[in-house]
Amino acid sequence: MGPRIVGRMAKLAPRSKSVRAAPRLPQGLIDELERRHAGMARHMARAVVTLVRWDTSTGIPPQRDAIVRACEAGLDLFLATAREARPATQEELRRVAQLGILQARSSQSVEPILAAYRMAARVAWDEILRAWRGHAEATPEAIMLVANYVFAALDQVAAEVTKTYLHAREQHLQRGTRAQARLFHSLISDNFDSELELQRQALAINTSLSQTGYVAVVCKLVLGNRDGERGGQALAEVAESLETRRGTLLLATDPSTLAVLWPVESPSDVDSVRHFVAELQVQVEQRAGQLGAHVRAGLGGYHPGLHGVARSYLEAQQAFETGRKLRPDSVIHGHDEVIPQLVLTQNPLLAERFVAHSLGRLMDPKVRNREQLLETLEAYLAKGSVKEAAATLGLHRHTVLYRLEKLKELLGGDLDLPATRLRLQLALDLRKLL
């Protein structure tokens, strides 16, 4: 709803309340209009349907019979106020405003409704002039009186329609948001009886669900070394501006977390959600500027069908928490990539034994420069070369070579053997998770 419409409503509303008793229209004209009532309503509705450009971006426009009823209500309002020389009652205005409520439930703009009433008033005015042509009482003064009634009624209708539209739109959006949240939580908690029942819930809020299934993503906005307190809502706004697949569901499950259910057709299709997270990261960097904010996301696996969503969501949460500890600077952490660490940490005693066995004397706090040695070992395993490890640590390569020699002495093995590297990397990861 733009400020122009709200401003117009503010101007029109007082006029609808201040309309006072006016001279009666000639009885002959009123009788003729009542006789032509049904035909005029049809003509008005035909003009509204054919000439008004309805907004179909979020739903279908009002049905023709609803438009006819609104036109009939408008005519009833006009005739009643003209016959009795009084302002419209709230009940009469409420019947006219029903079309605005329908529009609020199916579209984002009230402009088509206001255009519809303007079009209907123009057709009604033409019909009134045609009905009164040649009538003995059709003086210029009487025609001006009729025009005043028509325009006063149109102002009242416009103000009431806009007011009820705003109220109905707010209520509809609140109900839609709550219904979407219920649908989302049903999926991630797997507490629905049948997929058909869930599809019905989705259709009720104009949402399509993927039949093949979803991959869940859990995202947080990271500011410095901590999660943003309102990051979930901020990420939701950014995500809604991006191009997503049909059937994608977004929900800020708490103020700091955005959850995304991304429709996929097969395990090989999971790369598409990684591309979405990468785009989200690019947009966050551009909008954050010098704040240095970035995205951290956990990605669940693909499990077919709607009953597989809950499992993917749990995996996304596990991937997020595990990845946050293992690779805090990375944007996305996939569950499939941390399965070995997760399996071992399910039995902490075995994991501790593995770490102690693999890192040996390096686990002794009394070892001189122990933390520096651990840092060097991790950089060397991650980068694969002395040169890149030195660049990462900001050290001279000879310093790194010296430390590697010390590590070989403490660990008792060749650090370049693939099996040794894999074992040491896993032990370093488990040490962060225990």
Q: Mean pLDDT throughout 103-130?
A: 71
User: What integer pLDDT is reported at residue 141 of this predicted model?
Assistant: 75
DSSP one-letter string for 84-95: HT-PPPHHHHHH
The mean per-residue pLDDT over the stretch 313-320 comes to 90
Predicted local confidence at residue 175, as pLDDT:
60
Instruction: Please tell me the predicted confidence (pLDDT) of residue 297.
Output: 92
What is the pLDDT at residue 58?
A: 43
Under the banding of pLDDT at 50, 70 and 90, the label for residue 299 is very high
Compute the residue count for the chain. 434
CB 300 within 8 A of CB 313: yes
Tell which wins on pLDDT, 140 or 12: 140
**337-360: pLDDT as tens digits:** 888 888 878 778 888 888 888 888
47 or 214, which is more confident: 214
Residues 6+ apart with CB under 8 A from 40: 33, 71, 75, 123, 124, 127
DSSP letter string, 258-284: EEEEEE-SSGGGGHHHHHHHHHHHHHH
Q: What is the pLDDT of residue 23?
A: 56
Residue 168 banded pLDDT, cuts 50, 70, 90: low
What letters, b where the CB count within 10 A reaches 16 and e where it falls short, cover 94-132? ebbbbbbbbbbbbbebbbbbbbbbebbbebbeebbeebb
Residue 154 or residue 425, greater confidence: 425
How buried is residue 174: exposed, middle or buried, by Cβ count under 10 Å (0-12/13-18/19+)? exposed
Separation of alpha carbons 272 and 299, rounded Å: 12
pLDDT confidence bin for 174, thresholds 50/70/90: low
DSSP helix/strand/coil, 333: strand
Please indicate whether residue 276 or residue 22 has the higher confidence score (pLDDT).
276
User: What pLDDT is stored for residue 77 in this prediction?
Assistant: 77
The alpha carbon of 75 is separated from its chain's Cα centroid by a whole number of angstroms, namely 40
Rounded Cα distance between 385 and 406, Å, is 16
Q: Are 261 and 216 in contact (CB under 8 A)?
A: yes
Most confident of 6-20, 151-165, 310-324, 418-432: 310-324
pLDDT for 9: 35
Partners of 220 in the beta sheet?
257, 296
